């Protein structure tokens, strides 16, 4: 998969009823950001589905497949491409035919790609539903993941030249709230010392993840992340035995102003982010936890559209400028709060769908997902 930097176009694409692509000039179109801006820790790109999940589940014969087969179709890399975050959130699982402000050639190529992948998926599903799974069995399975785990950690350590430096244990000369953990040579003791710092009312909000921490947390190590400062690395054993790594930041780095709509977070969450870890995420600094408050922003700003995500506003949907982005899954799903919702509620955004639920259960499910639980 490749990353494309998208340019400016003053044309919009329209698909005629016979499928022929035509273009008509439009005036006053906005411009897609000319460069891909970086997230705080990673490039701001998304592994996006070419054909959205909402369309995949409607493919004739899809419901006749086994659970394993539907997962293979839904999560095949053959239906993924890297796109910039601004373009993804402008498109949000819709056809590239609806994009505005993008390069004309790119848009034409994208519609052709959609048509080709759509035809391939229809053919694979149809043959599998008819009893011949040979095409489906050849379909590559598994979405790319760059957010955590030992390979990602080793990449960040960089053989001693990366942005993360793991402190030797014990490190008796470290000061601050993490000093007891740094001074311990025993992994089990480090685990207990780290968990003692968590406020119980926050753990009550995410009971499933709390149980996982108390039963599957194998070690906690102190590291220094340049230029952020000290942090804890939590090594949690997933259901398949793999180690999944979260990073929790030293409270001393939280010295800036609170993000917009800070008051939309429950008190227990604000206390956790102020006193325990001002950010607890995967190694991408964004996913499957809670981002640093200094990095939180409105959804619009985080998505690369400070004045509002194009074509977003609908009567039943909260404006993108009125949501506080908290975290996501590193791809097509994000979790937000808003002054338009009650404290304790959250908006869950997936492709072009927005649903409202309780923050605790939604965050709990999100944090458990990397553990396959």
**CB proximity list for 209: less than 8 A, separation 6 or greater:** 364, 367, 368
Residue 223 shares a structural domain with residue 286: yes
Average pLDDT over every residue of 129-135: 95
Long-range contacts (CB closer than 8 Å, 24 or more residues apart) made by 187-194: 187/218, 187/219, 187/220, 190/219, 190/220, 190/221, 191/217, 191/218, 191/219, 191/220, 193/220, 194/220, 194/232, 194/234, 194/248
Residue 30 shares a structural domain with residue 54: yes
Asked whether residue 144 is domain-assigned, the answer is no
Residue 357 shares a structural domain with residue 284: yes
**Of 87 and 193, the one with more pLDDT:** 193
Average pLDDT over every residue of 35-62: 80
pLDDT surpassing 60 at residue 354: yes
Look at 30-44, 83-97, 145-159, 184-198 and tell me which has the smallest mean pLDDT.
30-44
Look at 18-27, 102-111, 217-226 and tell me which has the smallest mean pLDDT.
18-27
**99: number of CA atoms within 13 Å, CB side?**
28
Q: Residue 146 has what pLDDT?
A: 53
Residue 174 shares a structural domain with residue 309: yes
Task: Round to whole Å and give the CA distance between 318 and 362.
Answer: 18
Q: What is the mean pLDDT of the chain?
A: 85
Q: What is the dihedral of CA 265, 208, 150, 41, to 10 degrees?
A: -10
pLDDT surpassing 50 at residue 63: yes
pLDDT surpassing 80 at residue 5: no
pLDDT surpassing 80 at residue 11: no
Token pair in block for residue 72: 């293979």
Sheet strands (E) in 163-213: 164-166
- In degrees, to the nearest 5, what angle opens at C-alpha 209 toward C-alphas 289 and 178? 65
Q: Residue 23 has what pLDDT?
A: 33
pLDDT surpassing 80 at residue 123: yes
pLDDT surpassing 60 at residue 138: yes
Asked whether residue 211 is domain-assigned, the answer is yes
Q: Residue 38 has what pLDDT?
A: 56
Token pair in block for residue 39: 């997230």
Asked whether residue 145 is domain-assigned, the answer is no
Asked whether residue 67 is domain-assigned, the answer is yes
Q: Residue 206 has what pLDDT?
A: 98
pLDDT surpassing 90 at residue 145: no
Sign of the dihedral through C-alpha 109, 110, 112, 117: positive
Average pLDDT over every residue of 13-30: 36
Residue 42 shares a structural domain with residue 86: yes
Residue 79 shares a structural domain with residue 185: no
Token pair in block for residue 53: 């999940």
Residue corresponding to tokens 């953990």: 181
pLDDT surpassing 90 at residue 254: no
Q: Residue 1 has what pLDDT?
A: 34
Q: Residue 253 has what pLDDT?
A: 84
Asked whether residue 362 is domain-assigned, the answer is yes
3-state helix/strand/coil string of 333-365? EEEEECCCCCCCEEEEEECCEEEEEEHHHHHHH
| Among 137, 169, 187, residue at a domain's last position | 137
Q: How many domains does the chain have?
A: 2
| Among 107, 137, 167, residue at a domain's last position | 137
Residue 95 shares a structural domain with residue 24: yes
**CB proximity list for 257: less than 8 A, separation 6 or greater:** none
pLDDT surpassing 70 at residue 32: no
Q: Residue 71 has what pLDDT?
A: 92
Average pLDDT over every residue of 87-111: 88
47 beta partners? 82
pLDDT surpassing 70 at residue 8: no
**Of 260 and 140, the one with more pLDDT:** 260
- Which residues span the domain enclosing 115? 11-137
**pLDDT bracket for residue 44 (50, 70, 90):** confident
Asked whether residue 317 is domain-assigned, the answer is yes
Whether the ω angle into residue 315 lies within 30 degrees of 0, i.e. cis, is: no
Say what the pTM is: 0.84
Residue 131 shares a structural domain with residue 216: no
Report the chain's terminal Cα–Cα distance, integer Å.
Answer: 29
**pLDDT bracket for residue 104 (50, 70, 90):** confident
């Amino acid at each position: 998969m490749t990353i494309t930097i998208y340019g400016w176009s003053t044309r919009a694409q329209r698909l005629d009823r016979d499928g022929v692509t035509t273009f008509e000039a439009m005036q006053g179109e906005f411009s897609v950001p000319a460069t891909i801006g970086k997230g705080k820790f990673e490039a701001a790109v998304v592994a996006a589905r070419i054909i959205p999940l909402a369309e995949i589940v409607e493919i004739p014969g899809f419901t006749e497949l086994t659970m394993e087969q539907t997962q293979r179709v839904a999560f095949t890399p053959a239906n993924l491409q890297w796109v910039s975050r601004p373009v993804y959130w402008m498109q949000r699982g819709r056809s590239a035919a609806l994009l505005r402000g993008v390069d004309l050639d790119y848009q034409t190529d994208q519609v052709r790609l959609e048509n080709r992948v759509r035809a391939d998926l229809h053919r694979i599903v149809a043959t599998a539903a008819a009893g011949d799974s040979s095409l489906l069995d050849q379909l590559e399975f598994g979405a790319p993941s760059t957010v955590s785990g030992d390979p990602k950690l080793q990449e960040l350590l960089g053989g001693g030249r990366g942005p993360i430096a793991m402190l030797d244990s014990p490190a008796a000369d470290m000061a601050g709230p993490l000093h007891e953990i740094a001074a311990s040579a025993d992994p089990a003791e480090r685990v207990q010392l780290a968990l003692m710092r968590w406020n119980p009312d926050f753990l009550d909000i995410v009971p499933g993840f709390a149980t996982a921490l108390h039963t599957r947390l194998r070690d906690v190590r102190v590291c220094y992340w340049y230029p952020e400062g000290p942090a804890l690395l939590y090594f949690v054993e997933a259901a398949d035995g793999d180690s999944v790594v979260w990073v929790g930041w030293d409270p001393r780095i939280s010295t800036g102003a609170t993000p917009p709509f800070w008051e939309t977070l429950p008190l227990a969450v604000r206390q956790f982010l102020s006193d325990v870890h001002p950010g607890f995420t995967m190694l991408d600094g964004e996913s499957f936890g809670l981002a640093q408050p200094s990095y939180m922003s409105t959804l619009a700003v985080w998505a690369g559209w400070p004045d509002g995500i194009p074509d977003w506003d609908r009567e039943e949907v909260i404006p993108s400028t009125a949501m506080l982005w908290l975290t996501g899954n590193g791809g097509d799903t994000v979790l937000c709060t808003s002054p338009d919702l009650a404290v304790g509620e959250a908006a869950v955004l997936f492709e072009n769908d927005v649903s409202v639920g309780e923050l605790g259960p939604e965050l709990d499910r999100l944090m458990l997902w990397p553990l396959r639980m």
